[in-house]
Structure 1
């Protein structure tokens, strides 16, 4: 860290010199313009204008007929890092399968449209306005979607069929998590993006952490659907009732934990969520013991998914406690997340 003395040049204006090595590294010379940010967290920063070297807004990707699988990964990666346009150029011509895939990917990413479509060139553009994005509201919506997926998954146990809305809700969860990741990626690179979101970067990081936990809970909901369909008639009425009760408690942990980050639920709610997580751990262990060695693997698989759901909820509650330490609401935190 280097320090500089504030100089007065008259008229109430203050100046401070910047290190020449920093200016050289950013390609800045006398007479150039820099950006000044008075950020929400109290930081006043000088930032060089966004450049194509440090943050390419427009990228071009060359594809061949065999690279269909790479198309979706490329678009999603570019979206997550904040690129505005992706120009895909094919060595021959895009197949119908590739165009259909691109159309599906564009529909499943918020603010993304195909603006150019020819036999050999397709341009995908993101029109998302950062100032219109609410990360807190997006996390709130993601919680609702993921817990709805989870509730439907456990309600459908022993029915043998996936819930009718499972696919739509999974797409919605993917859309929300991708938009939050994009917002986070742009904000850690550009202070003006963080200012447009209206969220301090420390809080934004905590919301992104919670998003990752919610994504995993959605994955567990999908796995419960798959397990339930594979189990057929293995689950008896008593087992199903117990699994659903445990699932409801696990979801309560998640809901309460997220509330500590976006609804001002406070430290007490986070602590209660963590206490409930401990109780669910014990109840799931007891349930496995009661099942005995003759029980089917499907019951154990569902119990494992419910335990992990509770664990992820506890991880979010711990994020809430860390936020309380950062904001001064709590002065000490003990314990750490258990690895899954």
Structure 2
């Protein structure tokens, strides 16, 4: 690893030089534009090529009883657009479950829907979503449900059990 010193300009910004050999290999010269990305750990990633606008990641889910689990899974995998498709129609119960799940996840919105499909989109820039925080939030949402499920089982409370599954 090579070390470089930061230099400060009169207006307060900082400069760092890049290795001449790297610039030559990348076809860079005076006035060339490079892109950079700040990583979560504070590192800067330099790229000699400017990234084209990122295309949204899309996925398709078959409308089923597992719709909640599927939405959460695809959300955590970083998909921007989640399409739910049914062969006939999406039942009101599945539609409600999809809406409830969407409301619980940061940045997700139902954008389109008709009788056979729903389109859910993440409206937040994916790089701003920190998986640890998302998982912590999901844990906080699911922990009371787990406690209620246990209490319903131990006390044979059918009403509480129904409440947990809804």
TM range (shorter): 0.5 to 0.7
The normalised TM-score by structure 1 is 0.31
CA contact (8 A) 2:110 2:120 kept: yes
Partners of 1:147 and 1:71 in 2: CA distance: 21
Residues 1:119 and 1:164: Cα distance change in structure 2 (over 3 Å): closer
Deviations 1:194-219 (A, max 9, x none): xxxxxxxxxxxxxxxxxxxxxxxxxx
Which residue matches 1:165?
Answer: 160
Cα distance, 1:59 vs. partner? Answer: 0.7
Q: 1:105 is matched with which residue: 94, 98, 120?
A: 98
Cα offsets for 1:64-92 (capped at 9, x unmatched): xxx5449836534322223232245x6xx
The 2-side partners of 1:51 and 1:127 are apart by: 16
CA distance in 2, matches of 1:164, 1:78: 31
Give the CA deviation at 1:7: 4.8
1:31 Cα deviation after fit = 0.9
Which runs of 5 or more structure 1 residues have no equivalent in the other structure? 25-29, 157-161, 172-340
Structure having greater relative contact order (Cα 8 Å, sep ≥ 6): 1
Choose which of 43, 46, 54 in structure 2 pairs with 1:45: 43
Specify every segment of 5 or more residues in structure 2 that has no aligned partner in the other structure, as ranges. Answer: 27-31
Map of 2:2 onto structure 1: 3
Deviations 1:108-128 (A, max 9, x none): 341444321246653122457
- Aligned residue runs from structure 1 range 251-270, under 5 A: none
Contact map agreement 2:90 2:115 (CA 8 A) in 1: no
Q: Which residue of structure 2 lines up, in the alignment, with residue 267 of structure 1?
A: none
Aligned residues, how many? 143
TM-score (norm 2): 0.54
Return the match for 1:36 from 18, 24, 38. Answer: 38
Distance 1:8 1:130, change over 3 A: closer
- How far apart, CA to CA, are the structure 2 residues paired with 1:15 and 1:9? 9
SS of the equivalent of 1:44 reads coil
SS of equivalent residue, structure 2 residue 159: coil
In the alignment, which residue of structure 2 is the partner of 1:77? Answer: 73
2:122 pairs with 1:123: no
Q: Is the Cα contact below 8 Å between 1:59 and 1:83 reproduced in 2?
A: yes
Is the alpha carbon distance of 1:107 and 1:163 closer, same or farther for their aligned partners in structure 2, counting shifts above 3 Å?
Answer: same
Q: Which has the higher strand share?
A: 2
Cα distance in structure 2, aligned partners of 1:141 and 1:97: 25
Contact 1:57 1:82 in 2 (8 A): no
Residues 127 and 170 (structure 1), Cα distance of their counterparts in 2 relative to 1, 3 Å cut: farther
- CA RMSD, Structure 1 to Structure 2 (Å): 4.5
Q: What's the counterpart of residue 145 of structure 2?
A: 145
Considering fraction of residues, name the structure with more helix.
Answer: 1
Matches within 5 A, 1:159-238: 162-170=157-165
Distance 1:47 1:168 in 2: 48
